[in-house]
């Protein structure tokens, strides 16, 4: 799924590692797109896919019992978490760039 999504933005996933609750990726991004745009697209589309996959289940992402949360609520929660992670990722990148430039 990630390779197809990346290709839609002209990006190529060179290497990737899945961890329990997140993914590490080395991505080649064309200069036409910003890092934030491609990562935001990947996170957003994959969050929607995950929410759709788990929407019919009786348990949520944490393994807790679901008490009638609708699919849209799951999607909103996942997207909010992913947006916060994206902001933190961008801040880490900017700090690394600043260190390299000094």
Whole-angstrom CA distances from 56 to 25, 27, 53, 65, 67 are: 29, 32, 7, 12, 12
| Residue 47 · residue 82 · CB < 8 Å | yes
Digitized pLDDT (tens) for each residue of the chain, 102 residues in all: 778 888 888 888 888 877 777 778 888 988 898 888 888 888 888 778 777 776 655 555 555 555 555 666 767 777 788 887 888 778 777 777 777 665
DSSP state of 70: -
| Residue 51 · residue 74 · CB < 8 Å | yes
Where are the chain's structural domains?
2-101
Kindly report the pTM of this predicted structure: 0.49
Element (H, E) at 102: none
Measured CA to CA, the distance from residue 24 to residue 46 in angstroms comes to: 14
| Residue 57 · residue 69 · CB < 8 Å | no
Supply the pLDDT for residue 83.
82
């Amino acid at each position: 799924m990630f390779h197809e999504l990346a290709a839609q933005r002209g990006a190529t996933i060179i290497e990737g590692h899945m961890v329990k609750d997140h993914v590490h990726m080395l991505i080649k991004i064309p200069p036409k797109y910003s890092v934030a745009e491609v990562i935001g697209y990947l996170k957003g589309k994959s969050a929607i896919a995950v929410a759709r996959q788990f929407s019919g289940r009786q348990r949520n992402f944490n393994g807790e019992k679901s008490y009638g949360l609708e699919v849209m609520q799951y999607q909103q929660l996942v997207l909010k978490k992913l947006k916060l992670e994206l902001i933190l990722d961008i801040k880490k990148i900017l700090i690394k760039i600043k260190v390299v430039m000094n």
